[in-house]
Amino acid sequence: MTIWDSIILGIVEGLTEFLPVSSTGHLTIASKMLGQKIDDPAITAFTAVIQFGAIAAVVLYMWKDISRYAVAWFRGLRHAEHRGEFDHRMGWYIIVGSLPIGIIGFLAKDIISGPLRSLWWVAGSLIVWSFVMVAAERLSSKSRPLTRITLTDAIVMGLVQCLALIPGVSRSGATISAGLFRGLDRVAATRVAFLLGIPALVGAGLFELKDALGGNVGLVPVLVGTVVSFIVAYASVAWLLRFVVKHSIEVFAFYRILLGIVILILLATSTITAT
């Protein structure tokens, strides 16, 4: 992998990690266009590790909230009278909601980095999950703010987040949709999706770090891709949180459907290969 390849993939990661369009799907497509072998464990690991840049971006952007939840969570562990506070409960919600993807991701690692790394899967998932996103927007009440989130909401969103292990589904798209179906408003669902993504992305990155630094990737491309993804992701997070205040996520669904159809046509005409 060249430095230019890592820069391009870093940009793709930063742009798409927190938008509901599937960063893994876009990274798979971009890697293929760059001539990389997309089912190579080193390439799969690289796309997971450069997510550290996106993680750092969302942590920096949401630092006041994250630090407040963390302090309240530890305070509640020490003093029972603080355990009913929203910030303490929110800490537990993020921890519990993050467990499913960690367990499923570990158990299904070989499937995720192998058979699912096919553009047929990417295209199909892009299209199918788009209809779920549209349904979430049109059928949900979007009546509850973040302060009314429950443990059940966090568990449901965490379970649905596991579907994002399929390239093309979109981690943020899955969790935001689940939050909307639970009745959360767009801003609340999006903020929880970002928070649930931090442990998930950290775990995936650490797990894949060894493979990314070996093979045909190496340390320098990993560092470059991570730094680029951080810069781009920070702008992406800030933009999306402003966007969802007044706009539907359906626009992303229409884009996903169009992209999926284009990929299917390219595959069907043998213009590109699935792996």
* 26-80 pLDDT, tens digit each: 998 999 899 888 877 788 888 888 999 999 999 999 999 999 999 999 999 999 9
Which of 162-192 are b and which e, b meaning 16 or more Cβ less than 10 Å from the residue's Cβ? bbbbbbbbbbbbbbbbbbbbbbbbbbbbbbb
User: Taking a C-beta distance cutoff of 8 angstroms, is the pair 16, 23 a contact?
Assistant: yes
Please provide the average confidence, as pLDDT, over all residues in the chain.
91
Q: Is the whole model's pTM more than 0.95, yes or no?
A: no
Q: What is the rounded distance in angstroms from the CA atom of residue 122 to the CA atom of residue 53?
A: 23
Instruction: Write the pLDDT tens digit of every residue in 67-105.
Output: 999 999 999 999 999 999 999 999 999 999 999 998 888
**pLDDT at residue 112 tops 70:** no
